[in-house]
């Protein structure tokens, strides 16, 4: 399956919907989207990974790159993910300590609201 990307803004949070496989072939498209969003002033990003079938270290690199870019503007990049096979990669690499990971978009929005 290829990669489908979409985004919308709700309550000051830019939600990036990702569907499909994030690997060495498709990750550049996600990287371009994140860079474009940051360049347009969207510094609080929430990446919804509930429909991601596959994620490898290339995809992790893109997410880390995005996080660095938003943090340069005092922003945030957090994730929605409950899939064990995806969470396992974050655990193996220690990135669960770097990203906020939520069980749903609503949960992330609530946490984001409290942080304001």
Partner 1 sequence: MATVELTFSALPAHVRTARLVATAIARRTGVEESLLDEVRLAVGEACSRAVEAHRAHCPGEPIRIELRDDSGRFEVTVSDQAPSDETLQEQPLDLGMLSDSFMSGFGIAVIAGLADDVEVFPSPKGMRIRMSWPAAMNGHPSF
Contact 66, 77 (CB under 8 A): yes
Minimum CB separation from partner 1 for residue 8, in Å?
Answer: 26
Largest CA distance in the chain: 37
Residues that bind partner 1 (CB under 8 A): 21, 23-25, 31, 54, 56-58, 60-62, 64-65, 67-68, 71, 85, 89, 92-95, 97-98
Q: Is 108 exposed, middle or buried (0-12, 13-18, 19+ CB in 10 A)?
A: buried
Q: What is the DSSP letter of 20?
A: E
Question: Minimum Å distance from CB 46 to partner 1?
Answer: 18
- Residue number, 41 or 94, with CB nearest to partner 1: 94
By beta-carbon proximity to partner 1, the closer residue of 67 and 79 is: 67
Residue 59 or residue 109: which is nearer to partner 1 going by CB? 59
The tokens for 110 are 């609530």
Q: What is the smallest separation between the CB atom of 94 and partner 1, expressed in angstroms?
A: 5
- Residue 33 and residue 26 in contact, taking contact as beta carbons nearer than 8 Å: no
């Amino acid at each position: 399956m290829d990669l489908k990307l979409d985004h919308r803004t709700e309550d000051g949070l830019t939600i990036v919907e990702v569907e499909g496989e994030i690997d060495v072939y498709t990750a550049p498209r996600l990287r371009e989207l994140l860079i474009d969003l940051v360049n347009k002033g969207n510094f609080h990003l929430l990446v919804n990974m509930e429909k991601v079938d596959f994620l490898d270290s290339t995809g992790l690199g893109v997410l880390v790159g995005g996080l660095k870019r938003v943090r340069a503007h005092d922003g945030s990049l957090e994730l929605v993910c409950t899939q064990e096979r995806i969470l396992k990669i974050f655990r193996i690499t220690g990135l669960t300590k770097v990203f906020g990971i939520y069980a749903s978009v609503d949960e992330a929005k609530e946490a984001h609201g409290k942080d304001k």
